[in-house]
Amino acid sequence: MEKKIEQLKVILAEISDLSYAAALLGWDQQTYMPTGGAEGRGNQLALLGRLVHERATTPELGKLLDELKPYTAGIDPDSDDARLVKVTARSYEKAVRVPTKHVVEFAQETTLGQQAWMEARAKSDFSIFRPHLEKIVTLRQEYASFFPNFKHPYDALLDDFEPNMKTADVKAIFDGLRPKQVELIKAITDQPQVDDSFLHQPFDEKKQWDFGVEVITRFGYDWKRGREDKAPHPFTTSFGINDVRITTRVAPEFLNTMLFSTMHECGHALYGMGVAPELERTGLEGGASLAVHESQSRMWENLVGRSFPFWQYFYPRLQETFPQLAGVPLEKFYKGINKVKPSLIRVEADEATYNLHIMLRLEMEIALLEGKVAAKDMPDLWNAKMQDYLGVTPPNDAQGVLQDIHWSGGLIGYFSTYALGNLISVQLWEKINQDIPDLVEQIRQGKFETLLGWLREKIHRHGGKFEPQELVQKVTGSKIDPAPYVRYLTKKYSEIYNL
């Protein structure tokens, strides 16, 4: 059977290479492509999408997987070969249900949609993006129809990002989490507000960029295997474990934007760079799921980057970089970057309110997919839910319904992974602190090698071998559980706000 395993790996390597070529075109589209290139780029991505889909759904691949299943049933179920066959078979069974025509149309429409979103966001005009969103929603509804075995149409989309996670599971987790977070936010708002005015002043953009580079270099980002560029919405993309690129954005008069988005994307990249080399070009190098990926980005952004010990090391350096912070004491700075205030922009939201941004988006996506609301209704619905959930109303489309890039790329089903990632990050953090008792002191000294080494051993090296719930269970002893996250938030903000 070794020969058949090698045959499988040859097929998967070609599929991976084509997928990486498409990812490279997507990266260029969001960073350097001129606006006039959208239609041509859509054709290119459609062609690559068709080639990937055709290779991923051949009868020969299906036959090969059937021949390998008896072999893998007799070996270690956690071995690379057994997992490779299991994961590939799952992907194959989903892919063969989707017509190639749909794949091509989706690639073309999302390429045009992303370009329209960029223009619409820049002009704060939803009408520019609306017809594209209407087509994308129709295509996502059509995609869900290819999987009648799912209880809810949203399950089919969620399953692409969180294997075997159901809409009902996410709703149950969120329903248990929401009242506890709302209670905490209410307790905080009853206290005197934290001053963060010093974060809202001019900060030289080049100095911001250089400071971010300094921080993630310290984290362990390998510049020989990656690079950083600007994008309207920060993202990380991979063309293999030795080419993992990040993007960020810089606000000239608000320090948090670049600082924490850079740490966030670095967390994704460290995961991508840490996958075992033997998994490259097999389809297993992409990570367990988007929630597990988000657990890494949110961990480096929040549990490390917004912690007091982190700034005990980095704050003197930040003050050297920006002398206007010289008169701001460390404790005031720490409280400022952790200020809790319902805000308009998800990526700049504090930890206490962040999940509410996700919950409202999940509700909207489900309603869109069910056909209960139309694309034309989204600006008003967005504003109403922001007022309901967070008590704020966006003054324009750019700060409201157009703030996220996800829908333009067809990533309906993605948003819940951010909140799930928050929960997983703290579950892992509790385990990490058990295994590395002096972790806090290491962070205080600007040392992250032991932390990164733990993550590489427990999470990163496995790539996509294990399903998310399975991996979390293996590492922490339980499936995704909101209790550690609630404990973390309560402890942190009780100290900051004297609750």
The CATH number covering residue 184 comes to 1.10.1370.30
- Asked if residue 440 has pLDDT above 80, the reply is yes
Judgement on whether residues 355 and 247 belong to the same structural domain of the protein: yes
Judgement on whether residues 441 and 314 belong to the same structural domain of the protein: yes
Judgement on whether residues 411 and 292 belong to the same structural domain of the protein: yes
- Asked if residue 30 has pLDDT above 80, the reply is yes
Residue 17 lies in a domain: yes
CB 461 within 8 A of CB 275: yes
What pTM was estimated for this model as a whole? 0.93
Chain-centre distance for alpha carbon 199: 25
pLDDT at 348: 86
Can you tell me the mean pLDDT for 43-66?
96
CA distance 221 to 175: 37
CA distance 368 to 377: 10
Residue 159 lies in a domain: no
Residue 156 lies in a domain: no
Render 361-406 in DSSP notation, one character per residue. HHHHHHHHHHTSS-GGGHHHHHHHHHHHHHS---SSSTTTTTS-SG
Can you tell me the mean pLDDT for 225-244?
95
Residue 155 lies in a domain: no
Catalytic residue among 109, 162, 228, 265: 265
Residues 6+ apart with CB under 8 A from 378: 126, 133, 364, 368, 401
- Domain boundary (149, 183, 199) is at 149
Give Rg (Cα) of the chain: 22
Judgement on whether residues 87 and 234 belong to the same structural domain of the protein: no
Residue 158 lies in a domain: no
CA distance 154 to 134: 17
- Asked if residue 144 has pLDDT above 80, the reply is yes
- Domain boundary (103, 123, 149) is at 149
Judgement on whether residues 217 and 138 belong to the same structural domain of the protein: no
| Nearest of 170, 147, 165 to residue 93 by alpha carbon | 147
- Asked if residue 245 has pLDDT above 80, the reply is yes
Residue 298 lies in a domain: yes
pLDDT at 232: 87
Judgement on whether residues 359 and 475 belong to the same structural domain of the protein: yes
Q: Is 265 a catalytic residue?
A: yes
Q: What is the pLDDT of residues 8-17, one digit of tens each?
A: 999 999 999 9
How many structural domains are present in the chain?
2
CA distance 344 to 337: 16
- Domain boundary (94, 123, 149) is at 149
Residue 157 lies in a domain: no
Judgement on whether residues 289 and 186 belong to the same structural domain of the protein: yes
CB 202 within 8 A of CB 370: no
| Nearest of 209, 173, 104 to residue 468 by alpha carbon | 173
Residues forming a β-bridge with 333: none
Judgement on whether residues 68 and 190 belong to the same structural domain of the protein: no
- Asked if residue 174 has pLDDT above 90, the reply is yes
Residue 162 lies in a domain: no
CB 292 within 8 A of CB 459: yes
pLDDT at 233: 85
Judgement on whether residues 143 and 243 belong to the same structural domain of the protein: no
Q: Which domain holds residue 328?
A: 167-497
Phi and psi of 361, rounded to 5°? -70, -40
Compute how many other C-beta atoms are within 10 angstroms of the C-beta atom of residue 326.
Answer: 8
Judgement on whether residues 335 and 437 belong to the same structural domain of the protein: yes
Judgement on whether residues 429 and 477 belong to the same structural domain of the protein: yes
Judgement on whether residues 440 and 352 belong to the same structural domain of the protein: yes
3-state helix, strand, coil in the chain (%, to 5): 70, 0, 30
CA distance 427 to 485: 7
Residues forming a β-bridge with 244: 238
The confidence band for 499, taking pLDDT boundaries of 50, 70 and 90, is: confident
Q: What is the pLDDT of residues 191-204, one digit of tens each?
A: 999 999 999 999 99
The confidence band for 88, taking pLDDT boundaries of 50, 70 and 90, is: very high
- Asked if residue 108 has pLDDT above 80, the reply is yes
Mean pLDDT of the chain: 95
The confidence band for 319, taking pLDDT boundaries of 50, 70 and 90, is: very high
CB 342 within 8 A of CB 113: no
Residues forming a β-bridge with 246: 228, 236
Can you tell me the mean pLDDT for 318-346?
96
CB 283 within 8 A of CB 463: no
